Amino acid sequence: MKRFFIFTVVFAMIAGGLAPITGGRMPSALAAEETLTFPAKLPVHPRLFLTVQREKEIKEQISTDVFLKKLVSELIKKADRAKKDKLTEYVIPDGKRLLGSSRRSLERTSVLAFAYRMTGDKTYADAALAEMLAVCRFKDWNPSHYLDTGEMATAVGIGYDWLYDFIPVKERNEIKDAVVKHALNTGLPIYEKNNWWTKSNNNWNEVCNAGLTIGALAVADEEPQLAEKIVRYAVKSLPNGLSAYKPDGAYPEGPVYWGYGASFTGLMLKVLDDVFKNDFGLLKAEGLNITGDYYMSVIGPNYRNFNYADAGDTSDSSPMMFALSTFYNRPDYAVWIRNFLERMNRYQHGRLAVFHAIWYNPAKDDKGSSPPLAQKFTGIQDVCTMRTEWNNPDAAFLGFKGGNNRANHGHLDIGSFVYEVNGVRWAVDLGTDDYNMPGYFGKQRWDYFRLNNKSHNTLVIGDKIQNPTADCKIVSLRTGKNAGISDNIVAFASVDMTDAYKEQVKTAQRFATLLKDGTVLIQDTVIGAKEPVRWGMMTRADIKLDGKTAILSQDGKKIRLEMTTLYDSEKFEIVSAKPPTKAERQNEGYQMLTIVSKPKGENEKVHIAVTMKPEK
C-alpha cells in the first residue's frame, strides 16, 4: 500500500528542472562577426598542436608530474607496437566506408610521430613516414563517404606537420600533393555547393570541417590560396555543427557520438588557436562551455555510457575534456578525465590518445565540489541522470530519457532507462546494430529490433512501435527535499510520453525516482489504451520469478524487483531478446523482463509501478 501511495503522489506532482551549471570564460565574438584571413607569414612547422614550445613543456613536465610521465610512457609503448604493425591498406569491407583504414592511419601516424618528437628515435619517424606514404598512394580517400576523407586528412596533416623537418623534400611534396588532391580539392566543391554536411548539426559537420582545416593548415605554405578558402569555409560551417550543443551542452546523438564529434571540434578549435591565436567566436557557441557537464553526467560510476541512440556502453576517454578545461577554466573537467584515464587504464586508448598529453591540464579543483547528483539536459533530446554518489563504483546510477525520435542516430526509445548499482548494469540498452543492414538509416530502420521500442526499457502497446516523429520532454526533475515526497529521495523525474504513443493512447506518463539507498521506482500511468500495455526491461542478469516479484542475479550481486498494478492477474514474465531476422545481432546472453497489463475499458487507466531494490 505504501508503494502505491508513493506512486499516486508522484503522479500528482508538477515539478521544475535543474538549471545548468555555468562558468568559465567566454570569447568576445561570434564566428559570423569575424573575417578570417591568413597572416602574411604563417607560424613555422610544427605549428599544429605539438609545437616546439609545447614539446618542450611536456618534456619538462614529465620530470615532476607523475601522471603525465605515466601517460607519455604508455603512449611510447603504444608506438613500439605500432612500429611492428603492417601499413594501412585501402579496404572498404562494406562496399561503402574506408573509415576503418582512415581511423587506423590516424592512430598509427599520430602515436608514431608523437613518440619521435618525445624521444628523437628516428625509427618512429621512419614508421610514420612509411604509413603516410602508403595512404597518400591510395587512389582516393573515399570522398563519397566524407568522414573517411576528413579523418585521413587529419592523419596525414598531423604527420606532415609534426615530422616536417624529418621528411625528405621529395616525399614531403608527394604527401602535400596527396592532401591537396584527396582532401582539399574534393572538399572545396562541397563547400561551394553548400552540400549537406556543411549545414548539418551532427558529427559529420565537426569531423569533416576539422579534418579539412588540419589538412589545409598543414600545407598552407605551399597552397596558401586554396588553404585559406578551405579554412574560411570551415569556420563558417562549424557553427551549424555546434548548434547541436544548444542550450545546455547535451548531444542528441548520445555520448558515443559526443566523444566523436566533440573531440574533432576540439581539434579544430585548438588548431585555430595554434595558428591564428583566435577562435573566431566559435567558443561562444551556446552550450559548448558546459558540454563537459553533460558528458560526465551520462557516464555511470564504472565509466559505462547511458548509451541511448546508436551507441554501446563503453565510454570514450575523450581528450576534449582537457581542451574544455582550458578553454573555459574548468579544472573539474581536467580532474575528471585524469581519474578516468588512471582508473580505467585508458592511457593508450583511442586514435586521439596522444592529445591527452598534448592538451594535458594538471589543474586541481580547489573547490573540491562534485557535480549535482541529478541533472537534466534539454535540446533536441531530453535526458536526465541521477546517482547516489560520485567517485564510488558501487553507487546507484539511473539514466532516463524523453527524446526526439527523429534525432540523428536516434532510436524509438522515449521513456527508456538504464540502471546500475553495486557495479552491475542491471537494466541495459542493447545499443546499435549493423549500419550496413538494408535501410538502417532509411525506411526499414524501425523494423530492426534494437532500434525500436520493443527492445528498449519502455512501453509497447499492442505490439506497435512508438510514433517515429514523437518529441517528448522531461517535464520535471526535482532533487532531494525539493522532490516533495521524502528526504530519502535523490531525485524524481517525469516524462510525458503521450506523443510517443500517438493514436494508441489518450495519455501516457512515466515517472522515475532514485532513492538514497539505491532503490529505483519506475511508474507508468496510461489512459485510453485499447490494447495490452507491455512494460519491459532488458537485462543480462539471471532472473528468478515469483509472481509479482523477480530476483535478478549477476556477478555475485542481486536486486529484487516488485510490481504494483491495478489487477491481481498481472505478473512478471521473461521474453526472448532474439530479433525477428538472422541479419540482426542475436542478443545472446540477454533477456527481457516484462509485465503485460490489459485495460478493462477504453477509458480505463493502466498503472504499473516497479520497485528495484539492491540486496545486501
Q: pLDDT tens for residues 456-499?
A: 999 999 999 999 999 999 999 999 766 555 689 999 999 999 99
Determine contact, residues 216/259, Cβ cutoff 8 Å.
no
CATH of span 2-17+372-614:
2.70.98.70
Query: What is the band of 513 on the pLDDT scale with cuts at 50, 70, 90?
Result: very high
26 pLDDT above the threshold of 70: no
Instruction: Output the CA torsion 254→255→256→261 (10° steps).
Output: 90
Angle between helices 122-136 and 66-84 (to 10 degrees): 60
Strands 507-515 and 459-461, sheet pairing? unpaired
DSSP 531: S
Query: What is the band of 6 on the pLDDT scale with cuts at 50, 70, 90?
Result: very low
Determine contact, residues 425/465, Cβ cutoff 8 Å.
no
The pTM score is 0.92
Distance CA 3, CA 7 (A): 6
- Please report the pLDDT score of residue 398 as a whole number: 98
CA angle 141, 243, 472 (to 5 degrees): 115
- Please report the pLDDT score of residue 390 as a whole number: 95
422: number of CA atoms within 13 Å, CB side? 17
* Among 387, 371, 377, 372, CA closest to 301: 387
Residue-range domain boundaries for the chain: 2-17+372-614, 31-358
Determine contact, residues 204/26, Cβ cutoff 8 Å.
no
SS3 247: coil
Determine contact, residues 598/526, Cβ cutoff 8 Å.
no
Cell reading at 254: 548520445
Cross-strand partners of 305: 299
Q: Matching CATH topology for 2-17+372-614 and 31-358?
A: no
- Please report the pLDDT score of residue 29 as a whole number: 36
Q: pLDDT tens for residues 123-134?
A: 999 999 999 999
- Please report the pLDDT score of residue 34 as a whole number: 54
557: number of CA atoms within 13 Å, CB side? 14
SS3 202: coil
Cβ burial, residue 328 (10 Å; 0-12/13-18/19+): buried
CATH superfamily for domain 31-358: Chondroitin AC/alginate lyase (1.50.10.100)
Q: What is the residue-wise DSSP string for 307-367?
A: --SS--SB----THHHHHHHHTT-HHHHHHHHHHHHHHT-TT-STTTHHHHHT------TT
Determine contact, residues 299/245, Cβ cutoff 8 Å.
no
Helix or strand (DSSP H, E) at 229: helix 224-242
59 pLDDT above the threshold of 80: yes
Distance CA 99, CA 255 (A): 20
Higher pLDDT, 369 or 370: 370
Q: pLDDT tens for residues 230-273?
A: 999 999 999 999 999 999 999 999 999 999 999 999 999 999 99
Q: pLDDT tens for residues 261-307?
A: 999 999 999 999 999 999 999 999 999 999 999 999 999 999 999 99
105 pLDDT above the threshold of 80: yes
Cell reading at 154: 587529419
- Please report the pLDDT score of residue 27 as a whole number: 37
533 pLDDT above the threshold of 90: yes
Distance of CA 568 to the CA centre of its chain: 42
7 pLDDT above the threshold of 90: no
Q: How far is CA 177 from CA 174, 182, 602, in A?
A: 5, 8, 70
Q: Dihedrals φ, ψ of 112, to 5°?
A: -70, -45
- Please report the pLDDT score of residue 565 as a whole number: 82
- Please report the pLDDT score of residue 49 as a whole number: 98
Q: pLDDT tens for residues 148-198?
A: 999 999 999 999 999 999 999 999 999 999 999 999 999 999 999 999 999
DSSP 563: E
Query: What is the band of 215 on the pLDDT scale with cuts at 50, 70, 90?
Result: very high
- Please report the pLDDT score of residue 20 as a whole number: 28
